[in-house]
Amino acid sequence: MSLDLDGLTLSPELADLMQRLTDTATTLQRIIARNGITEDLSAAQGVNAGGDGQKALDVIADEAFKDALKDSAVLYYASEEDDDYITFDGGNLALAIDPLDGSSNIDVNVTIGTIFSVFPAAATPEASFLRKGREQIAGGFIIYGPQLALIASFGDGVHKWVFDPDTGRFERLADLGKIPAGKAEFAINASNARHWPAPVKAYIDDLLAGETGPRGKNYNARWVASLVAETYRILHRGGVFLYPGDGREGYARGRLRHLYECAPIAMLIEQAGGAATDGVNPILDEVPTKLHERTPLVFGPVAEVKRVALYFTDPARAAQAADDQL
């Protein structure tokens, strides 16, 4: 077995699914490493169901995961790259997936990944997927960067594996602890500042004011345009991430998808002692109404995410409240 699952009490079906996901990831990592040698993986391939441009690697990854799931325990498959749900033969699991997150980074050799969410299969695809994220039995991502790594939760903490190219195995490392608090970093696409809602703009302005502003310290900005990369960094060293809705046409609910991007990331963040919201409400308590539904996303340490919410609900207190008063 290429994935070390020792010490984890997973059902045989879920354990097999995790093996298939990581086996496919090793294949994709080799394809990514050859970008430009045999084909241009960043070449345009059309538009997906959500209206985003598809790259060649988006399609390759989606097909690779679908092929890997044949004869598995996955009954229903929901992908960012497909217009509708796909039903396989038999099985008791439902897998939602963003096969290739961060595809705008393919041609510049920056970190990309795969995000996945697993639910128990219900009678229909809709009943399986359009439910609270708290009903996930697994959520996580695979990151294709300097290291090929898997970050996943099965509801009891956040686990980490790194692929060892010498042995061909994903070796399990120490579980991740709580998201470090107090890190003066934030991630948001600042090019959209003129479109942000007033609470988001006020929050970011207070951070940018630095040590002379209401937060009393200087902050650094980070933006990779890859959700897996942003999440990996925040899980390991802290900080806050924001992808708000904004005033542009089609962006009222942001651009991230609830089911196969935000829900699994929210599961990881909460399992690491943090919080993930749409700005105010916990992502895991929300129920999407359609496959490709979008939602704003804010995540990080609990106190900082609560502070962001105050900018929406009680702006007079938002900047000045102490962390233990949030």
Residues marked as binding for Mg(2+)? 80, 98, 100-101, 261
Residues in a beta bridge with 3: 170
215: closest CA among 223, 203, 206, 204? 206
**What is the phi-psi region of residue 249: left when phi exceeds 0, alpha when psi lies from -120 to 50, beta otherwise?**
beta
Q: Which residues of 115-146 are buried (b: 16+ CB within 10 A; e: fewer)?
A: bbbbbbbbeebeebbbbebeebbbbbbbbbbe
Is residue 262 within 8 Å of residue 279, measured between CB atoms?
no
Instruction: Return the closest-CA partner of residue 215 out of 178, 183, 180.
Output: 183
Binding residues for substrate, by number, are 101-104, 189
The closest alpha carbon to 78, from 58, 54, 98, 63, belongs to 98
Question: In this structure, what token pair is assigned to residue 285?
Answer: 């308590």
Distance, CA of 47 to CA of 198 (rounded, Å): 32
Helix (H, G, I), strand (E, B) or coil at 192: helix
Residue stretches of the annotated binding site: 80, 98, 100-104, 189, 261
Rama region for 47: left / alpha / beta (φ>0; ψ in -120 to 50; rest): beta
Closest CA to 141 of 164, 125, 124, 118: 118
d(CA 115, CA 117): 7
DSSP strand pairing (148-153 vs 185-187): unpaired
Token pair recorded at residue 259: 């089911």
CB atoms within 10 A of CB 43: 13
